[in-house]
Amino acid sequence: MKLGALPVAELTTRLARGLDVDTGPFVVRVETEIPALAEELRLLYGDFPVDAGGGLADFHVSVRRPAGPLGLRRWWRQQAMAYLDDARPFEPLPIIMAVPMLEWSINWCAATRANQYVMIHAAVLERDGRALVLPGVTGAGKSTLCASLSLRDWRLLSDEFALIRPADGLVDPWPRPISLKNASIDVIRRWAPDARLSMPVPNTNKGTVAHVRPPSLSVARAGEPAMPAWVVFPTFARDAAPHLSPLPRARAFFRLAACSFNYESLGLRGFTTLSRMIDGCDAYEFNYSSLDDARSLLGALPLP
Q: Which of 199, 208, 290, 202 is nearest to 243 (CA)?
A: 290
Residue 69's pLDDT band, with cuts at 50, 70 and 90, is low
Q: How far apart are CA 3 and CA 11, in angstroms?
A: 8
H/E element, 30? strand 27-31
Q: How far apart are CA 110 and CA 26, in angstroms?
A: 9
pLDDT value of residue 272: 98
Q: pTM, whole model, 2 decimals? A: 0.94
Report CA-CA distances (Å) from 3 to 8, 20, 52, 81: 10, 10, 11, 23
Is the Cβ–Cβ distance between 278 and 249 less than 8 Å?
yes
Q: What is the average pLDDT score of the chain?
A: 92
Q: How far apart are CA 31 and CA 29, in angstroms?
A: 7
Q: How far apart are CA 248 and CA 245, in angstroms?
A: 10
pLDDT value of residue 92: 87
Residue 14's pLDDT band, with cuts at 50, 70 and 90, is very high
Question: What is the per-residue pLDDT across 19-62, written as a single tens digit (0 to 9) for each?
Answer: 999 999 999 999 999 998 999 999 999 999 998 666 889 999 99
Instruction: Report percent pLDDT > 90 for the chain.
Output: 83
Q: Which of 124, 117, 121 is nearest to 230 (CA)?
A: 124
Question: What is the per-residue pLDDT across 125-181, written as a single tens digit (0 to 9) for each?
Answer: 999 999 999 997 766 789 999 999 999 999 999 999 999 999 999 999 999 999 999
